[in-house]
Structure formats: structure tokens, C-alpha cells
Amino acid sequence: MTGPRALPGATRGSGPLAGLLVADFSRILAGPYATMLLADLGAEVVKVEGPAGDDTRSWQPPVRDGVATYYLGVNRNKRSVALDLKDPDDLAAARELARRADVVIENFKTGGLGRFGLDYDSVAATNPRIVYASITGFGAQPGGAELPGYDLIVQAISGLMSLTGDPEGEPFRAGISVFDVMAGLHATIGVLSALNLRHETGRGQHVEVNLLSSALSGLVNHASAVVAGGVVPFRMGNSHPSLFPYEPLPCADGDLIITAGNNGQFRKLVEVLGVPELADDPQFARNEDRTANREELRPLLADRLRTRSKQDWFTDIIAAGVPCGPINTVDQGVAFAERIGLDPVVTVGEGTAAIPSVRNPITFSETPADYRLPPPALDEHGAEIRAWLTAPEETA
């Protein structure tokens, strides 16, 4: 990184965002995930933490060398500085960092940074080029601004939990903090879009993302059923409301997910299963017929599938061009990605400080993601960052 925003000792990233400085005032998941993606793509990210550090440092088990793997999973390629915003010197450093930055990302409670002069209006007054992203739980309007925004709460309020679980059982949360991740992705898209416009106008802007809006957008066909069709979707377990087969089906030694998404795929499936006549049966010829008559079709498919193992069927059904897959554990999922050449694990850092991490999912032909720094210890880079912020800026 070169020029007036260059950090001391910083190794310039090789990705498409090399040269950008991001001031990361976020914590936990949505914001740190967004800033890690930006860092992977070359941006220099300064992670500003309170004296106690990011909450996820203590979210354990599991741990690696005493550090929570939750924290490790979303904080590589960053430099940490611990700043107490109630301390005048630390607050001055935080304001100077925001003044020098290209991007600020924060997920404080709405208005929480205003009392420190670190809200968008205050930062933009001294840095009109700033792209400032705020991630909240329920937006900045009255009624939502006061609500605490945790992923599980949004899964409940958005309706996702009403769709997840056994039809006869209780609602369930998704196995990951799906809307935190989704909001982080939406924030990243917003930041990149604002940066693109800044190339033309020279001015930044305020980008706002909230978990509930991300959730409703992410509910896609289910949300559309409500707003466009007046239909309230309901819990169907592993079944799909508009497709069949599109669920686990029993083989001799366990279930196999089979997804015949169109009539051609269904015909190929029943040919492999040895019951080609089902493709011409009026009850099952079209997707809408199969969906309406799923209770009649399911046992006919299951009778055939139970004659062989799920691996044998997986091999033959995939070869026929019909999507299917086993229900793996996460370690098996990583192993599968390795087997098909996706190289899902990268090592960040060197020697005893090296940390295995999940590869950034974006591939570029010319400017690939890079992995320069392992997740930092609390205030690991504090001294050099404070010294840089209090020294006069270099001229470009």
C-alpha cells in the first residue's frame, strides 16, 4: 500500500481492492465477515476493538490454541488496534482513522457512534469521499432503531423459523447465523457499488443494511408468495412447496438428496431407477402433477432406491445428469470440496502462527484473493497504528 493512506509495515494486497483503507468498527459476525471479504480482495483493514476485544474472542468452544474458532473464521487479513472511545487520545485516533479511510463499516446500535463524532455526518464532514456502511438489526427508523439485532431474533421475527423443522414439530433456527452472513454480503455489495460511483463523482455516501431487510430479501420465493400471491408458506420439513422430488429419499443405507427440477430430469431419474413408465403417467408427467401427487409418487421412488446403497445410486444418478447428493457432516463437506479440486482450505500466516482458514469463494483470473495476515491478537498492531495516526500524513 502506498501514498497518504499507507500503513507502516503493511504489505500491499494483490487483489482488486489493493490500495483501499477500511476502518472496521464492527464486531461479532455481519460486519467482520464483510470486512474480511474486502481484506481478502486486497483492502487494508484496521479492526478497531474496545479494550475487551471483539465479543467472539470469548465465544468458545471450539478453540485453536486457546482462541475461539468463531473469531478466527471471520477476522483474517486485518490489523487490530484497541481504542477506548471514552478516552480522549483514543477517540482522537479513531476519528483520524475515519478521516483517512476510504471505507468505514460499523454495526453499533443506531446512533451509537454519534456521541463520539464517528457517525456518518461527522465523518463525511472531514472526509467527503468516505463510503460509510452501517449494519443494524432492524433499521434506523423509530420502532426499529431501538431493537437489538441478533441473528436468532431475526430468524424468528422474519418468519424463517416458521418454515424450518418438522411439519408436526416446533420451529427451528437454521444451523448457521444465516442472516448475519447475508447482511454481511449485502453490506459488501453496497460498499463496492458506492465505491464505483465515487470514481465518477468523487464523493462517498452512507450505505445502510439491516438484518430484517436482508432476511426478507433472502426468503425469496417464500416472501414473494406472501407479497405477490397472498399465500402464507408453512413448515414442510425437507420438502419443497413447488417441486418434487426435491428432498431426501431413502436408500438401503440412508438418505440421498434428489432434486429433479424439471420434466427432463425426472424422466432421466426414473429411467435410472428402472421405472421409466412413471414419466408418462398422467399423475407425474409434469412438475405440477408430481408436486400435487407427491404422496403417491414418493413410495414408488423409495421402493426402487431402497434396493441399493446411497453411494451406488449417487454415482449412477449423477452420471445420468440428475442432481443429487449425500447428507454430509461439515468435515465430509470440506473433504468433498477437496476431492473435486476446490481447495477449500488455505493456510494464513507462517510457522506456529499459521491458521487454517476457509478459502474466499470468489475466483479472479487476474487478481486473486490473497491471505496476508492471520487473525490478529487484540491490539496486536496498536502501537504502530497509533504512531501512524498521530504522525503527519505523507504526500502522495
Cβ-contact 165, 236 below 8 angstroms: no
The alpha carbons of the chain give a radius of gyration, in whole angstroms, of: 25
SS3 state of residue 119: coil
Q: Which of 180, 253, 289, 370 is catalytic?
A: 180
User: What grid cell was written down for 231?
Assistant: 399465500
Q: Please report the sign of the dihedral spanned by the C-alpha atoms of residue 387, residue 388, residue 389, residue 391.
A: positive
Q: Catalytic annotation on 331?
A: no
Residues in the chain: 396
Cβ-contact 128, 190 below 8 angstroms: no
**Spatial CA neighbour of 318 closest among 258, 246, 390:** 258
Residue 161 per-residue DSSP state: G
User: What grid cell was written down for 347?
Assistant: 493456510
CA 97 and chain centroid, separation: 26
Query: Omega before 233 cis (within 30°)?
Result: no
**Spatial CA neighbour of 261 closest among 278, 230, 240:** 240
CB atoms within 10 A of CB 23: 28
Residues labelled catalytic: 180
